[in-house]
Amino acid sequence: MSDEKLCIDYSQLESLYGPLAESIRRLVDVSIRTEADPITVAAVKDRIDTAAAELGASAQPGTFGVQLTPDGQTIAWGNAVVGLRNPVAPPLVLHHEPDGLVWSEFVLGAPYEGPPEHVHGGVSALILDHVLGATAHRAGRPAYTGTLTLRYRRRTALGRQLRAQAHVERTEGVKTFAVGHLADEEGVTVEAEGVFIHKR
Amino acid sequence: MSDEKLCIDYSQLESLYGPLAESIRRLVDVSIRTEADPITVAAVKDRIDTAAAELGASAQPGTFGVQLTPDGQTIAWGNAVVGLRNPVAPPLVLHHEPDGLVWSEFVLGAPYEGPPEHVHGGVSALILDHVLGATAHRAGRPAYTGTLTLRYRRRTALGRQLRAQAHVERTEGVKTFAVGHLADEEGVTVEAEGVFIHKR
């Protein structure tokens, strides 16, 4: 097999499918809050069913999975937290600092609601699992959550700038011990610690 | 104010907006996996943008929140786990047994992926937070997560029948101590325990 055959242009695919996912995220958001009348809802539902059929005609079975680029970058576009192509994902953009700190800043809207106008406690857990786990991930060598403990200090508001961050406290063999938190502009709202395990 | 004014027909709204959310869930699923060409994607994106504009014209600002029916039922259609109208929610249907056990059976697809073909560890946390918390919830008197601890025994597969369940271990004043797990057909995959707090 020649190298050419392996060389998918991911940046081209990103600019094709990324905006599609963004449009679906906007649709998801307004669909929760709309008070459209039955005739409008029926027409919109038809439009969405047509769109799904058009995309479905060439959909791969199963899931997106994880792909590796020729230079070793992980393409996890289906991921529930960071997936560029997954409308369920906010999606978070992770930053990896040279000292090992992983962080992300983002705003969560209506689809992530638990208590009225606040982030679902489980959504905070979802995000912190991913950000803590990202301190242990290496390309082609994923880390799996072993344990995760969350302490909720106070509620986290929707529609405001949030920041999640984590760092490695220590490693022991295949285990990475990570700590981190979710914060709003007034400080920490949820603390987290977890053990992430590299499969042997 | 007369009783009539408060009397929204939720079953009628459910059969209007529930199928819309189901259509969007199907769209989300195929959009992650499609290999449609640029011309098809552009046409589908236009269709989705039109649909979002049509729904957005009558969308309430903010979030769905939680509504109470005249007979005290909680309507949390925007909820990230159980929200009938929230395409991000699977959505889980919770069953409350007379002995206090809360359980739900469901299948998770491509939008909930972490490791290839497996449920994101954070999605398991999201679901268990909700199901454990539901043991403490009372209509009009929500319980907030205080702490949540998860132990991952093994990976949980996408596309298979799953069950989440929880029960109250004990209560101390405003605190409910709940335990539960996520399981597939071979047994428990993730164990959870949490403390849920009623606001005074």
| Chain A residues in contact with B20 (beta carbon < 8 A) | 31, 41, 44-45, 48
pLDDT of residue A5: 45
Contact status of A70 with chain B (Cβ, < 8 Å): no
**What whole-number distance in Å separates Cα of residue B19 and Cα of residue A104?**
34
User: For the residues A127-156, what does the mean pLDDT come to?
Assistant: 93
pLDDT in tens, A13-25: 999 999 999 999 9
Contact status of A36 with chain B (Cβ, < 8 Å): yes
A10, pLDDT greater than 90: no
Assign B18 to helix, strand or coil: helix
B85/A31 touch (CB, cutoff 8 Å), yes or no? yes
**Any domain includes A133:** yes
pLDDT in tens, A143-197: 999 999 999 999 999 999 999 999 999 999 999 999 999 999 999 999 999 999 9
B4, pLDDT greater than 50: no
CA closest to B55 among chain A residues? A34
CATH number (domain holding residue B157): 3.10.129.10
**Any domain includes B76:** no
| Chain B residues in contact with A60 (beta carbon < 8 A) | 33-35
Among A24, A36, A122, beta carbon nearest to B81: A122
| Chain A residues in contact with B62 (beta carbon < 8 A) | 33, 110, 117, 159
Assign B58 to helix, strand or coil: coil
**Any domain includes B42:** no
Query: Residue A111: CB partners within 8 Å, gap ≥ 6?
Result: A25, A28, A29, A32, A88, B78, B80, B86, B87, B88
Average pLDDT, chain A: 93
Q: How many CB atoms lie within 10 A of CB B109?
A: 17
How would residue B8 be classed by pLDDT, with cut points 50, 70 and 90? low
How would residue A73 be classed by pLDDT, with cut points 50, 70 and 90? confident
A51/B130 touch (CB, cutoff 8 Å), yes or no? no
Tokens read off for B180:
């539960």
**Any domain includes B57:** no
**What whole-number distance in Å separates Cα of residue B81 and Cα of residue B2?**
34
A35, pLDDT greater than 50: yes
**What whole-number distance in Å separates Cα of residue A112 and Cα of residue A106?**
12
**What whole-number distance in Å separates Cα of residue A16 and Cα of residue A170?**
40
Percentage, residues of chain A above pLDDT 90: 82
Among A30, A43, A57, beta carbon nearest to B52: A30
| Chain A residues in contact with B16 (beta carbon < 8 A) | 38, 41
pLDDT of residue B74: 81
| Chain B residues in contact with A121 (beta carbon < 8 A) | 129, 133, 144-145, 148
Query: Residue B11: CB partners within 8 Å, gap ≥ 6?
Result: none
pLDDT of residue B2: 42
pLDDT in tens, B92-121: 999 999 999 999 999 999 999 999 999 999
Contact status of A192 with chain B (Cβ, < 8 Å): no
Tokens read off for A98:
């040279």
B149/A150 touch (CB, cutoff 8 Å), yes or no? yes
pTM score, whole prediction = 0.94
How would residue A7 be classed by pLDDT, with cut points 50, 70 and 90? low
B111/A23 touch (CB, cutoff 8 Å), yes or no? no
Instruction: Tell me the backbone φ, ψ of residue B198, rounded to 5 degrees.
Output: -85, 130
Contact status of A39 with chain B (Cβ, < 8 Å): no
How would residue A66 be classed by pLDDT, with cut points 50, 70 and 90? confident
Q: How many CB atoms lie within 10 A of CB A130?
A: 28
**Any domain includes B188:** yes
Query: Residue B109: CB partners within 8 Å, gap ≥ 6?
Result: A63, B29, B158, B159
The DSSP bridge partners found for residue A74 are A68
pLDDT in tens, B155-191: 999 999 999 999 999 999 999 999 999 999 999 999 9
**Any domain includes B111:** yes
pLDDT of residue A8: 66
Assign B130 to helix, strand or coil: helix
- Closest CA–CA distance from residue A91 to any residue of chain B (Å): 12
| Chain B residues in contact with A65 (beta carbon < 8 A) | 113, 116-117
**Any domain includes A37:** no
**What whole-number distance in Å separates Cα of residue B134 and Cα of residue B124?**
15
CA angle A34, A38, A44 (to 5 degrees): 65
**What whole-number distance in Å separates Cα of residue A84 and Cα of residue A89?**
8
Strands A175-184 and A67-68: unpaired
How would residue B1 be classed by pLDDT, with cut points 50, 70 and 90? very low
Domain of residue B108 covers 92-198
Tokens read off for B133:
């918390």
For residues A127 and A88, the answer to whether their CB atoms sit within 8 Å is no
Tally of domains in chain B: 1
pLDDT in tens, B16-52: 999 999 999 999 999 999 999 999 999 999 999 999 9
Average pLDDT, chain B: 93
Tokens read off for B32:
């992650």
Amino acid at A134: A
**Any domain includes A57:** no
pLDDT of residue A11: 86
What are the strands, taking DSSP E only, across chain A? 67-68, 74-75, 95-96, 102-107, 143-152, 161-172, 175-184, 187-198
pLDDT in tens, B119-143: 999 999 999 999 999 999 877 778 8
Q: Which of A10, A13, A27 to mutate to test the interface with B (most CBs of B within 10 A)?
A: A27
Contact status of A154 with chain B (Cβ, < 8 Å): no
